[in-house]
A and B are shown apart, each in its own frame.
Chain A
Amino acid sequence: MKGTNIGEFEELVLLTVAALMKEAYSVAICDELSNQTGRSVKLGVVHAVLNRLEEKGLVKSHLGEATKTRGGKRKRFYQLTIPGKAALVRAKSIRDQLWDRIPSLVWKKV
C-alpha cells in the first residue's frame, strides 16, 4: 500500500516536521535539516518531499497569517497526521529490531 514505507529523506523531513511543532514550514524545515544533518539541503527538494508526503497523507498543511517579511505571502505550515506518526514509529521499530539482532560480538570485530 502506498504510504506505508518511507524513504530516508522522507523520514528526516517527517521527524523535523514533528520536532518543529507549530513552526514547521518549508524554509524552517530546510534550515533545521541543514543544521542537524550538516548537509546542504535544497529548498526545492524539501518542497517536493513535503508535497509527496501530503499526497500520501502523512502530513497535513494549512496556510498561516500573512506577514510583511515574505512579500505579503502566507506560510504553509505542516503537521504530522496519525498515519504519519504511525509511519515514523514503524520505521523506528524496524530499525530497533534490526539493531537488537546484531550481537555485540560482531561490533567488536569491526
Chain B
Amino acid sequence: MEEQKHHPPHWAQRFVEWYCKPDLAEDLIGDLNEYFERNVRSIGPRRAKLIYMIDAFKFFRIYTVRRPTFVNLFIHWIMIGSYTKTSARNLMRNKLFSSINIIGLAISMSVGLLLIAFVLDLHSYDRFHKKGERIYRITNVATFTGEQGGKFASTSIKTGKLIREKVTGIEEVAIVRDGFSEDAEVGDNILPIKGFWAEPSLFSIFTFPMLEGNPDRALKDPYSIVLTETAARKLFGNESALGKAIKFDTLDYQVTGVMKDVPFFSHINFEALVSLSTAEQLNKNDKNLEKWTSMWSNYVYLLPSEHADMASIQSQLDAIAKEENLADDNTKIQLELLPLYKIVVGENLRRSEGLHTVSPHMPPFVLWILGGLALVVILSACFNYTNLSIARAMRRFKEVGIRKAIGAGKSQVRQQFLAEAIMISLAALLLSYFIFLVLRPQLINLAPEMQRIVKLELTPSMVVAFIAFSVTVGIIAGFMPAIFFSKVSAINALRNVSAPAYRSVKVYKLATLRRALVIIQYTFTLIFITTTAIGYVQYKNILAFDLGFNTENILNINMQGNKPDALLKEMSEMPEVTALSRSLITTAVGNAWGGYMTYKDSRDSALIMTNHVDENYLSLHEYKLIAGGNFIARPTTAKAVREVIVNEQVLKRFNIADNNPQKAIGEEITFSNARGNGRKMTIVGVMKDFHYGKVENLIEPVAFMFWTPEDRAVINAKIQSTDMLATMAKLESMWKKIDPVHPFQAEFYDETIEDAYSEYSAMIKIIGFLSFLAISIASMGLFAMVVFTTETRLKEISIRKVMGASSGNLIYLLSRDFLWLLSISALIALPVTYFFFESVVLTHFPYHTPVQIAELFVGLLAVLLIAFMMIGSQTMKAARSNPATVLKSE
C-alpha cells in the first residue's frame, strides 16, 4: 500500500495533457502512471518521478502533439475583432487611466528603445568585414616586475613576424603600427594626417575596398601611402591622387592607393595607411623596434585558415611566448587571441598612453547595468498597468461573466486581456518612438566619446527589435490581469456586479499584491533619486576640490609642437594676461609623466611623478612652498637641469633629512627618465602636498624640474578679462600667425578638470534622468490609484463629512495607507543607498566627503511632497463636493 502515497509529478502530467492530442492523452498518461507505479516499487519514488518527467518530455513527438485546428484558428481570428473592439471601447471609456497607462509605458519604453538602439549599434561594429568571423587580434598579457601589468590590446612587431614564420594554420597575418601623425604637404596645402603603418596583408584580412591602386602591392615599398577617399579629396581636390607625391616632414611619400572611407562602425579608424616598411626604414638604427617587449603601439591581426584548429594555434602561441620570455627577466608576456567581434563589446584592455587612435569600447557589464536600470523603470510602468487593471476590475466583471457564459474558455479570456495589454503597449510604442527621437541627440551629446561610438539610426533590425520589445512589455504588463480575469467564474461575475464577485477572488490577497508592487516601485524610485542626489553632491565636491593649488582663470594653451616663445612674447603684451608660465603637461586631470628617483641607497628606486615647469609656474598656480625657493638656475638644455622642487611625499618616501623640509634643501638625489639616466639633482625647494593625479588617486611623490625648450609646451596664462570672447578671439588670431595648420587648442583649467570627470557627470545625468522617469511613472500610478479610491469612496467621504469630519481628517484617512507603504520603501531604500555609497562607490575616492543626511532625505521629501499634492488635490475635490448630491441617489 505504500506506493499509493506517491504521486507522479503533477506538472509533468499537466504538461502531457497540454501538448498531447486529446484522444491519445488518456492512455498515454495511463501508461506513464503504470510505469511510475512499477518504478516506485523497484527503484524508489525519487528516481521514479525523475523518469516520469523525462518520459513526459520524450513523448513530445510529431504524432502526439496536438495541432491547432482550423476551426479554432478561425474562431480566434473572428474574436480578435471583438477583443479589439471591447478593448478600444474600454480605453475610450476610461480616458484618464488609459492615458496614464499609455504615457507611463511610453516614457519607460523610450529608455528601452534607446538601450536597444545602443546595444544594436555596438553589436554592428566590424560586421562589414566579409571574413569577420574568422579574424582575431593578439592580446598581450604582460607582467612586469615592479609595475602594474595587465592585458594589452597591443603587441610587438616581433610577435607578428614570429606568428607568420612559425605558426601553422594561419592564412594571413597583418601587423599594424599605431601612431602615424604628421603634417602632409602637397604644394601649398598642409594638412595633418593621422593613420597607421600597415602591411599589404591588411587588405586581404579586412574588407577595405580599394578604389584606385593595387591592394596587393600598395603597402609593400617604403614611403608608399594609401589614402582614404576623404583624405585624398582634402589633399588633392578633385584630381586623381594615385601616383602623386606627398611630403611629410622632409621625406616624399608616394600615393599608391586610394581606398573607400573606413565605415563608421569600425574599431580601427584612420585617414591614411603608410607601409610598415617605412617605419622599419625610419627606425633602422633603433633596436627596440624589433624587440619582443616593444609591445606598446602595434596590433597584430590574424586570419586563421578555414576550419583551423584554434586550440593548436593557441598552443603554438604559448610555445612562442615561452621561448621569447627567456630573454627578458623583467617582462613576461603571454599571447591570447581575441575575436574581432569581441573587441568593441568585450573585456577592458589597457593601451599605452599617447596613441593617436582611440577605438570605441564598451565592457559588457556596463550594458548589463544599464539594462538592469532600464528594466526597473519599465517594470515600474508595467506595475502601474497591473495595479490599475486589477483595481478597476469590478467594472469589467460583467463583460468577463457574459463572455464566459456564452462559451469563452479560460484561455480565451486570458488571450483577450493579453491582447488588450499588447494593444496598449503598441500604442505606447508609437508615442515612445517620438520620445526616442527627442532623447536621441541628448544621449549622443551626453559625452564627447558617445558621438564617436554610436549613431542610433533606425535600421530594419532595430524596427523588429522595437516591436518585439513592445510586445514583450505588453505581455509582462498584461500577464497578472489576464490570469486574474480568467479565473473569475461566470456565476460569481454575473450574480452581483460589485462586492461579492470581487470578494470571491480573494480580494485581500490582491490588495497585498498591489501593495507589494507599490512598495517595490517606490523603493526603486527612492534609490534612484537618492543616488542622484548623493552622486551630484559628490561630483560637485570633486570639481570644487582643493587640489593644493589654484586653477581659477588659468588658460592652458597646447603648443602642439610649436616653440612657445613667440606666442609668449605677444601674450605678455596683452593687458588681459596678468601672468604667464610654461609647463610640460597639465596635471590633476589624469596626465602623467614620470621617472625613477634614488636617494642615498642606489638600490632603492621609486617611480616619481614629474612635471617640467618654468620659473613662473609655481607663483601663477599658487603652489605653497614650505622650504627653500624657486629654481635658481635657468638652464636651456635638458642636460643642464640640476635642480628639483619636490613635495613632502618625496621626503617621506626616501626619508630625506628625517622628513624635515628645511634640512632637505641642498640634498642630492639621482633621477632617471627618458631625458637621461642617473642625473644628479639638488633639492632647491619643498612644496606642500598637492594633487598631481585625479582625485581618485592618493597623493603621490612629485618632483618639478625646470622646463627647457626641448620639451613640448603648454602655456599657462592667468587671464583677467571682462570680455572673454574677445580675448579668446585675439589669442586665436595670434595662434593663426604661428601655426596656420593646426587649430587653436586652449582650455581653461577648470574646464579641463570638468572634462576629466566627464564620465561621472554622464553617469549622474543618466541616473538622474532615470530617476526623473521613475518618479514620474510612480507618481502617475499613485495619482490614478488616488483618483480611483476617492471615486469609489465618495459616498463614505460624504457621510464622514456630514458627520463632521474635517478636510484634514479625510486627507489623513485617504493617505494613511500610502504613507505606510512609502515609509516601508524608505526604510529599505535609504539604508541600501547609503551603504552602497559608503562601502562600494566612495571607497574609490580616498578624499571624499561623507554622505550627508540632507542628501539622503531630499529625495524622500520630494516624493512625499508630490504624493501629498496629488492625494490632497483629489481628496479636497471629493471633500468639497456637496454631500447632498452625492448621497441623494442611493
Contact = CB atoms under 8 A, between A and B. Distances in A.
B63 A27 contact: no
Given A44-B55, A44-B58, A47-B59, A73 B27 contact: yes
Given A43-B55, A44-B55, A69 B37 contact: yes
Contacts of A25: 27
A44 B59 contact: yes
Interface string A18-60: 0000000111000000000000000110011001100000000
Contacts of B31: 26-27, 43, 47, 70
Contacts of B64: 51
A63 interface: yes
A73 B35 contact: no
Interface residues of B, number: 18
B30 interface: yes
Nearest to A55: B63
Nearest to B27: A76
B33 interface: yes
Nearest to B37: A69
A92 interface: no
Label chain B's interface by main secondary structure.
helix
Interface in B27-82: 27-31, 33-35, 37, 55, 58-59, 61, 63-64
A71 B35 contact: no
Given A43-B55, A48-B63, A71 B8 contact: yes
B26 interface: yes
Contact of B63 (A51, A71, A73, A76): A51
Contacts of B8: 71
Interface in B321-346: none
A96 to B, nearest CB: 33
B27 A75 contact: yes
A47 to B, nearest CB: 7
Nearest to B21: A51
Interface in B717-737: none
B26 A73 contact: yes
A70 B63 contact: no
B59 A71 contact: no
Contact of A63 (B26, B61, B63): B26
Contacts of A71: 8, 29-30, 33
Contacts of B28: 47
A75 B33 CA distance: 11
29 contacts: A26-B27, A26-B31, A27-B34, A27-B35, A43-B35, A43-B55, A44-B58, A44-B61, A48-B61, A51-B24, A51-B63, A51-B64, A52-B63, A63-B26, A63-B27, A69-B33, A69-B34, A69-B37, A70-B30, A71-B29, A71-B30, A73-B29, A73-B30, A73-B33, A74-B27, A74-B30, A75-B30, A76-B26, A76-B27
Interface of A: 25-27, 43-44, 47-48, 51-52, 63, 69-71, 73-76
Top 7 nearest A-B pairs (CB, nearest first) are: A73-B30, A76-B27, A71-B33, A70-B30, A70-B33, A44-B58, A70-B34
Given A43-B55, A73-B27, A73-B29, 20 more contacts: A25-B27, A26-B31, A27-B34, A27-B35, A43-B35, A44-B59, A44-B61, A48-B61, A51-B63, A52-B63, A63-B26, A63-B27, A69-B33, A69-B37, A70-B30, A70-B34, A71-B8, A71-B29, A71-B30, A76-B30
